[in-house]
Amino acid sequence: MNHNSRPRLLLKRLHKVMAGADEGQGRLDRVVHEIASNMVADVCSLYLLDKEGQLELFAAEGLHQKAVHNTRLKIGEGVIGLIAREKVPFNLAEASKHPKFRYFPETGEERFQSLMGVPIIRRGASVGVLAIQTKDTRHYAEEEVEALQTVAMVMAELLGQGELIDQSQIGKSVVEFQENVTIQAHIFAEGLATGEAVFHEPKVEVVRISADNIEDELERLDDALMVMRTQLEKLVVATDLEHELETREILETYKMFAYDRGWQEKIRGAIEAGLTAEAAVERVQRDLQTRMSRAHDPYLRERLGDLENLSARLVRVLMGYYGEAEHHKLVTPSIIVAKTMGPAELLEYDRTHLSGIVLEDGSPTSHIAIVAKALKVPLLGQAHGLLAETQEHDTLVVDAVSGRVIIRPAGDIASTYEASLRERTALARKYAAQVNLPSVSRDNVEIELMLNAGLLIDLDNLATTGASGIGLFRTEFQFMVSSTMPRMQAQTELYSRALDAVEGRRLVFRTLDIGGDKRVSFLPLVEEENPAMGWRGVRMGLDRPGLLRYQLRALVASAAGRDLNIMFPMVANADEFLAAREILRAELAYVERMGREPPKRIAVGCMVEIPSLVWDLDRLLQHADFVSIGTNDLIQFFFASERGNAKISERYDALSSQFLRFLSLIVNKCEAHNVPVTMCGETGGKALEALAFIALGINSFSLSAPSISPVKMMVRSLDVAPARAAMKDWLGSGTANLRAQVKTFAEEHKVFLS
């Protein structure tokens, strides 16, 4: 039998059962009989949530009938309970050997070996499990798993409509909603916001599951794909986005997924199996969700997320809910709530009342995270349990400063956050008043404050923060959002526009730091045990000199007649720096041979983020024009503490005497060689830590835009000389951690710490 004809035939048989005279238990018994017969199985069992939230055996073909309504499992108990909890299919040739297998004597299932079970999911929650078993040991084919998933999808809709069983017999699969539910989340775009929960495109209920005419459904799919692609094309060329080069590139990449053949073929296959076009898209979308839950590679998860978002969009087009001119209108301050969300969907919202976004999934390097930062919209991601806990119109607090979302905050908590928002607003006015004031201490020591950037729109922050320049321009975003290697012209245009935007102020380009967790689609995937310490940065550039040379050629061309500052990342020793600089020299020689205008002045430096480089620093500083201490990587390598690991991320402190003595060693070597040193990274963006680093002798920082004003206000209230004298005493005191001493100093000397 053709694998597409089996589910189609079964759906027709189920339709006859539903149209027949049987009701209640008789109808359920007919259903499991038809499934077992069609799937050539010895057993078909149907488990549904009862009123106590347990999985109750509601119907069975091939098991002892005395077990029906008497066998119950908790969610997560046994293989059946595990299927419900994990929401993924299980395909076991010998089920009894699975570590979670639980034997129920009353069922008589000891005779059966294989088990294939799929969850019955409605509105994102497991409401039951459908399973088949055979006496023989066998592993079910992929098309058989897909067939049972198709049936489970139909049964979920029938249960929801009350057509399969009396609703009073089963549980609702809902939670008791309480106040002050706090969910920890990851900060994708910093900020603080409160507002009303608005579900991003509330799920459209697919009510028509079985197809009457396969050819008609395939034609509907083609028409819907055309409508969706047209929508995305119009969004890409929208007039208000023309100046945002990176946003357009992100949308171009996102749009390309709408042409993905593999994705389309899976949908067509589901239609040919007997589903309507919208039901087929939803089936494929659930498969994508399952793959995302198992994918550990962040780049793969982001790409699967793009396809999942497009699937949801396509369903809405098929159901007639996505008109040509539709925009998401918000009438009150709103927090968008979603599992995942694409950059196109974010840009379609009326941003007048868009206060923040919370995603149950997502990645800090995803397309939507990049766009949210550009729009300055607070964004939290990986807020696990968000959709189950949140109801439409709930009040939410998005704390994208400490990384949490509070659902239905009680009056006192809501008042506290509202007060915090008012304080932040008042503080923002103070910051705005000092934008044009110099970053000079009370005892007249100038502390240079520059910006970290990676998008052209980030450069607008030069005016809003009063930063003196760009201490770090990350060049990898252009590569990460592109499906192919960016052409020379595109790279040159980006770098040239960045130089234009700074209007003669200092701008330091960091060469590509791809690899590790920063995957690009046009390079082969390399699986690594420790990607942060793997094939990335200048290591990849030296192993792929064509890639580095191509970028350096674009940088040199963009800076014709202007100053050019280039910095190499992930340098472990002086030899790597010298090898990278030699490639740059070859490109400068090429410009000279071609008779083109070279940069007016070139400064070449590197990041100090690998501890081994410190022991080769004397040799490197004879050739480098500047160095930048990259605290994000340096701290995790220094303490062997992965910064993304929540169990140890707070264990080691940048203000420990160990790390401060290490930094002091770097600063002293740079001073001895008369080479400028800048502190770059999140750690230096905290006022207390910045005070300690200034006390060590660091006079230059490159920070994120939100950190500039707090650090400047601290600098303008600080006397540097007594701080540096105190630091010498603290480092010699033998105290393990100096955080308390630095804080006491700030309090006694009235140093402003926001």
Run of H or E including 506: strand 506-510
The end-to-end CA distance of the chain, in Å, is 71
Q: What is the pLDDT of residues 319-372, one digit of tens each?
A: 887 643 344 678 889 999 988 787 777 877 877 889 999 998 877 767 688 778
Judge whether 371 and 347 are in contact, CB under 8 Å: yes
Instruction: Please say if the pLDDT value at position 599 is more than 90.
Output: yes
* Secondary structure of residue 359 in the 3-state scheme: strand
Q: What is the pLDDT of residue 624?
A: 97
Q: What is the pLDDT of residue 237?
A: 62
The model's pTM: 0.61
Q: Is 490 exposed, middle or buried (0-12, 13-18, 19+ CB in 10 A)?
A: middle
Which is more confidently placed, 146 or 441?
A: 441
Q: What is the pLDDT of residue 316?
A: 82
3-state secondary structure 227-271: HHHHHHHHHHCCHHHCCCHHHHHHHHHHHHHHHCHHHHHHHHHHH
Domains of the chain in sequence order: 5-169 (3.30.450.40), 202-320 (1.10.274.10), 434-748 (3.20.20.60)
* Spatial distance between the Cα atoms of 120 and 129, rounded to a whole number of angstroms: 5
The pLDDT of 564-584, averaged and rounded, is 97
Residues 6+ apart with CB under 8 A from 620: 571, 573, 574, 577, 606, 613, 627
Q: What is the pLDDT of residue 365?
A: 62
* Secondary structure of residue 215 in the 3-state scheme: helix
Q: What is the pLDDT of residues 409-457, one digit of tens each?
A: 887 777 777 777 777 777 778 888 888 999 999 999 999 999 998 877 7
* Spatial distance between the Cα atoms of 121 and 124, rounded to a whole number of angstroms: 6
The highest-confidence range among 213-217, 420-424, 727-731, by mean pLDDT, is 727-731
The highest-confidence range among 2-11, 390-399, 622-631, by mean pLDDT, is 622-631
Which DSSP string corresponds to 408-463?
Answer: S--HHHHHHHHHHHHHHHHHHHHHHHTTTS--B-TTS-B-EEEEEESSGGGGGHHH
Which is more confidently placed, 638 or 522?
A: 638
- C-alpha atoms less than 13 angstroms from C-alpha of 216 in its C-beta half-sphere: 7
Provide the 8-state DSSP code for 485.
P
Residues 6+ apart with CB under 8 A from 135: 42, 111, 112, 113
Q: What is the pLDDT of residue 418?
A: 79
* Secondary structure of residue 28 in the 3-state scheme: helix
The pLDDT of 131-150, averaged and rounded, is 88
Provide the 8-state DSSP code for 612.
H
Q: How many residues does the chain have?
A: 754
The pLDDT of 106-115, averaged and rounded, is 86
Judge whether 408 and 177 are in contact, CB under 8 Å: yes
In the chain, the percentage of residues whose pLDDT exceeds 70 is 84
The pLDDT of 370-387, averaged and rounded, is 84
Give residue 126's identity as a one-letter amino acid code.
S
Q: What is the pLDDT of residue 642?
A: 76
Q: In this structure, what token pair is assigned to residue 549? A: 């040379």
Instruction: Quickly count helices (H) and strands (E) in the chain.
Output: 27, 22
Average pLDDT, the chain: 84
Q: What is the pLDDT of residue 199?
A: 84
Q: What is the pLDDT of residue 296?
A: 53
Other residues' Cβ atoms within 10 Å of the Cβ of residue 465: 23
